[in-house]
Amino acid sequence: MTVATTTRPLGLAGAPVSAWAFGIRIWLAVVVALAASFWLELEAPSTAAITVAILAAPTRGQALEKACYRLLATLIGVAAAIAITGLFSQARDLLLAAFAGWIGLCVYAAGLLDGNRAYAAVLSGYTVAIVAIQQIDTPQNVFETAVARGAAIAVGIAAIAVVNDLLGAPDRFPQLASQLAALHRRVRDYAKAVLRSEAPDAAAATELLHDVAVLRSEMASLATESESGSIRTATARSTVVALVAEVQAARAFNALPATADPAFRENTVAALDRSNERLPTAAAVGPDEADRGALPSLSVPLTRAARELLRRDAEVREGLAGLNAGSLPRRTWRTPLYRAQPVAVAAGIRAAACLALPSVFYVLAGWPTAAASLSLVAIVIGLGATTPNPKDFTLLAFIAAPIATVLAGTLEFLMLDGVNEFPLLALALAPFMIGATVVMAQPNPLLSGLGRLNLIFILGIFAPSNPPSYNPEAFLFTSLFVWLAAGLLLTAQILIPTEASERGQRWIMASVRRDFERVLSGWDRRLAPEEAMFRDAARIGRIPAGGTSPRGNAVLKEALSYFDRAAAIRFCRASLAQLVDTSLSHLAADAQKALAAQDTRRLREACLALEHVSSAERALAEEISAELALAAIIIDAATQTTAPVEIVS
């Protein structure tokens, strides 16, 4: 029995020291942003503080990347605000309709992008809310409001960038490297389970592919961190693609019969453990294989599969080493994004409808300051659009609003209560900023979400200005509007149904089948086989989990069978393309036709023909023959085990 001793990281009151350091950095950045805004006499100093709160991220690279996108999105949003106001300022109802349409368009764009780019899309949406809708009764002020907002955001970005640099915010790439190393361990465990014929289920493979693909959005933040950042980004991308390729290489062993040469499989497991590239020696073929005279023996595809697995493992290890050292691997790949058009369109339409309902309510209520609350509705829609479940985010905002009201009220009327010296303001902000940030840094997603929302809402409700105004009426109205906005949005999101997960599954499976037809016909996109495989993996990762239901499992199995076959066919096509200008081009053409028809008998004949050539390209032909043999086995296994699943709603 072994006893594992773990040293707990240094902590204070249950939170690690790094979380407290993060909290102090954010507090100082808010203070610097406010000081700069007051000194420059900006019109919207609270926007600078809220910018710092929104950009609060534990590492330098993430904050800087989000800052770049925030600036870009503000420019786009301001241009759209001026355009919408210019066109519709005379007809208020048309203006609200145009605004709802713009929000829908931005949420649709957010559905097609990922990570901070999706955030930029939704920010363009709610920038129009803040700039145009809040000035709905005074359209002549739209330009000045836009310039003031842009200036405040720039000051906020500068504040957080300088504070992060000077106070030693950690870099992103060590954390990313350890995340990738942990994924590599999981992929190796999966490969060993497959080699030992322990048959891990489809859900395990899907979860692995999902976790690998989800890291795609995190890599762009490395580029802003340091001058070797763009190289590290390219290395990290190549590493994730190699991880997906390793999963596919491991899955190839699922197709090979479990009884074929178990000693060889054990040796491959040992080679994986030793992390070396030397292939174990293939043992003799089993007795029943000798009867199938004309068919290629199983040791050839087995050897090929093992070699591929070890090669991909070596590529991953090279990528991880390159990420830490800041050097490029031998081969670099891009990570294409899978864009689910129907899902994005549905999300966009739903967002527009969720905005239209509250605006009808506000128009009927006829309150003079309702425009502020409508812009808050747009903000909560925008912030929730990048989360996996917008309704949960709105619920969290609904819970966070009263908490933030109490905290902001304590700050404004109990702690500050009429002072107007800046150092006192800075001191008073400290417990709230540091506390909210430490809660945000907790691993529990509920607490983290509450902390983040409180950080933003406290600054929004308190709204520091110079000279400070301690007006209880304004405070009550703002708090009421925040709560009302979250409540109305929650009602709208409950009334307007989200699509059932089965429909999402159906859309994705239809996309999988369509792309597979393209792979068969050779009309594939201009992507390298590994890059196309990464895109397939990202798509599989998006299939909504159907729990442990047999139907859900069958859908995953079908998706994975398409994934395996498409990858094998793409690799074969790429290799056969090398024979086009040689004396073996007719054999290559035969093999291509067999692949297009998924005709494994002709494929095996082509494979045998290539194995016995005696031309100058003998070595290449043998390699391709082994690849074709393995592909034939994978196609056979896939077409035998799964039939298309009919999903009936």
Query: Closest approach of Cβ 338 to another protein, in Å?
Result: 30
Q: Which of 410, 493, 486, 492 is nearest to 453 (CA)?
A: 486
Which span sits near another protein by CB under 8 A: 131-139, 158-166, 284-292, 602-610? Answer: 158-166
Rounded CA gap, 195 and 251, in Å?
9
To the nearest 10 degrees (0 to 180), the angle between helices 472-495 and 445-462 is 140
Q: How far is the CB of 228 from another protein (least distance, A)?
A: 5
Chain centroid offset of residue 615 CA: 48
Cis peptide before 443 (omega within 30 of 0): no
**Pattern 58-87, binding to another protein, x per CB under 8 A?**
--x---------------------------
Residue from 39, 91, 137, 168 touching another protein (CB under 8 A): that is: 168
In angstroms, the CA 227 to CA 43 distance is 36
Applying the rule CB under 8 A, the residues between 358 and 417 that interact with another protein are none
Distance between CA atoms of 395 and 328, rounded to whole angstroms? 44
Rounded-to-integer distance, Cα 408 and Cα 406, Å: 6
Residue from 236, 258, 263, 100 nearest 175 by CA: 236
Q: CB nearer to another protein: give 165 or 277.
A: 165
Strands (E), 181-294: none
Which window, 226-234, 273-281, 339-347, 524-532, contacts another protein (CB under 8 A)?
A: 226-234
DSSP element (H, E) containing 12: strand 11-12
162 lies in the site for another protein, by CB under 8 A? yes
Q: Is 231 in the site for another protein (CB under 8 A)?
A: yes
Q: Which is nearer to another protein, 162 or 283 (CB)?
A: 162
What is the three-state SS of 389-455?
Answer: CHHHHHHHHHHHHHHHHHHHHHHHHHHHCCCCCHHHHHHHHHHHHHHHHHHHCCCCHHHHHHHHHHH
> In sequence order, which residues have a C-beta less than 8 Å from that of residue 111 and are 6 or more positions away?
118, 340, 343, 344, 345, 347, 348, 385
Report the DSSP beta bridge partners of residue 16.
Answer: 11
Provide the minimum distance between the beta carbon of 359 and another protein in the complex, in angstroms, as a whole number.
31
Q: Which stretch binds another protein (CB under 8 A): 224-232, 268-276, 352-360, 629-637?
A: 224-232
Per the rule left: phi > 0, alpha: psi between -120 and 50, beta: everything else, 260 is beta
**Subset of 588-607 contacting another protein (CB under 8 A):** none
Binding of residue 164 to another protein (CB under 8 A)? yes
Per CB under 8 A, the list member of 87, 94, 166, 419 interacting with another protein is 166
Nearer to another protein, 118 or 176 (CB): 176
Q: Which stretch binds another protein (CB under 8 A): 16-24, 82-90, 91-99, 220-228?
A: 220-228
Smaller CB distance to another protein: residue 228 or 297? 228
Per CB under 8 A, does 227 bind another protein? yes
By C-alpha distance, which of 490, 402, 403, 396 is closest to 448?
396
CB of 227 to another protein, least distance (A): 4
How near is the Cβ of 95 to another protein at its closest, in Å? 24
CB 482 within 8 A of CB 476: no
- Contacting another protein (CB under 8 A), which of 93, 144, 165, 421? 165
Of the residues 18, 226, 297, 410, which one makes contact with another protein according to CB under 8 A:
226
The CB-of-165 to another protein minimum distance in angstroms stands at 4
Question: Is 149 a residue that touches another protein (CB under 8 A)?
Answer: no
* Comparison of 72 and 363: residue with beta carbon closer to another protein: 72
Binding mask 314-353 for another protein (x = CB under 8 A): ------------x---------------------------
174 binds another protein (CB under 8 A): no
**Over the range 450-460, which residues count as b (16 or more CB within 10 Å of their CB) and which as e?**
bbbbbbbbbbb
Q: Which is nearer to another protein, 226 or 448 (CB)?
A: 226
Q: Rounded to the nearest whole angstrom, what is the least distance from the CB of residue 41 to another protein in the complex?
A: 13
How far is residue 344's CA from residue 352's CA, in Å, rounded to a whole number?
12
The residue from 141, 175, 228, 448 that contacts another protein (CB under 8 A) is 228
Least distance from C-beta 216 to another protein, angstroms?
23
Question: Binding pattern to another protein, positions 22-61, x when CB under 8 A?
Answer: --------------------------------------x-
Assess 146 for contact with another protein (CB under 8 A). Answer: no
Phi then psi for residue 44, to 5 deg, are: -130, 65
* Axis crossing angle, helix 501-521 with helix 550-576, rounded to the nearest 10: 20
Q: In 3D, which of 68, 66, 105, 67 has the Cα closest to residue 83?
A: 105
Q: Which is nearer to another protein, 166 or 360 (CB)?
A: 166
Residues lying near another protein in the complex (CB under 8 A):
60, 162, 164-166, 168-169, 171, 226-228, 231, 326
